Amino acid sequence: MAGHILLFGVVLLVAQGLFMQPTWSGFRNLFAFTGADGGSIQFWMGVAMVLTGLARFGGLIVNGARKHVTPRIRQFSAGVGCLIWFGIVYGFASSDVLSTWLAIYPLFGVNELVNIHRAAHDEGETRNGRTG
Amino acid sequence: MAELAELLQSLPTPALIVFAAVLALIFGVRHLGLLQGLKAPAAASETKAQVAAVIVDPTALVAASAEVSGLAVAVTEGTVALKKHTAAMERQGERLDALADGMDKLRTELIRAAAKME
């Protein structure tokens, strides 16, 4: 999931003029309050997603190195991921263009929910003294 | 605060609703996971449980040790019997050899006696 977010951001940064396409009009409308044009919105969303992806990779590395404190890190990063994926789903949905996004991003969001549940389950077990 | 309210008003209402719903879903799932984790049965570690049982009640361990001692005695006895048997077989072999020698000599004597009679 960290890789998905990171690559999504990279694609936004690389593919110039992507937000000008009708499929992405929902994203322009969503961030219209910033007063920025489509290109700027695309650029800053790309930057934000690359940074988030890198942060999630950092979280994964910490998760590999330490065992006991990380369920919260995992929950937080999966929560941020969930918001991002459902935000993307909203952006596409509000563009009123039905495309393959419907087969991909909603399931990513659900996957993040599963991750949150799993991490919270681990935290509950640790609190209960059942593991470690 | 006024700026925040302005910002919220400038956002499309469905976006706010979706945002709130996803946020609620996230916290709901987290809460559910925490509760389930708290209620989760002890980690599936049968070896640990068995070791703990042996420490609490060592009867089975003592009985098993006694069985192993008995088995060792039986194996030792078996080895002794096998050694005796091997020695007996060796002796038997020697006597058979002697018997064969005697029969060879007897045959030679018979041939010699037959030659004299002719």
- pLDDT score for B115: 93
Q: Are residues B37 and B8 in the same domain?
A: yes
Nearest CA in chain A to B45: A131
pLDDT digits (tens, 9 = 90+) for B64-73: 999 999 999 9
Say yes or no: B56 and B37 in one domain. no
Would you state the pLDDT for residue A107?
A: 92
Q: What is the mean pLDDT of each run of 10 residues along chain A (132 residues)?
A: 86 82 81 78 88 87 72 85 88 83 89 89 74 50
CB contact under 8 A, B43 and A75: no
Contact (CB, 8 A) for B26 and A79: yes
- The CA distance from B21 to B40, in Å, is 28
Residues B92, A50: Cα–Cα separation, whole Å = 92
Q: Are residues B30 and B62 in the same domain?
A: no
* A·B CB contacts under 8 A: 82
Task: Let me know whether B72 and B111 are in one domain.
Answer: yes
Same-domain status, B36 and B58: no
Domain residue ranges in chain A: 2-127
Do residues B91 and B114 share a domain?
Answer: yes
Supply the pLDDT for residue B46.
61
Pick from B7, B15, B42: CB nearest A90 = B15
Same domain, B30 and B85: no
Judge if B31 and B57 occupy the same domain. no
Contacts 24+ apart (CB under 8 A), B54-60: none
B37 lies in the same domain as B82: no
Task: Please check whether residue B36 lies inside any domain of the structure.
Answer: yes
Residues B37 and B94 in one domain: no
ipTM computed for the complex: 0.75
How many structural domains does chain B have?
A: 2
Positions of chain B with pLDDT under 50: none
Domain-located, residue B46: no
Domain encompassing residue B31: 1-41
Task: Give domain status of residue B47, yes or no.
Answer: no
Sequence-distant (6+) residues with CB within 8 A of B64 are none
List all residues 6 or more positions away from A44 whose beta carbon is below 8 Å from its beta carbon: A36
pTM over 0.80: no
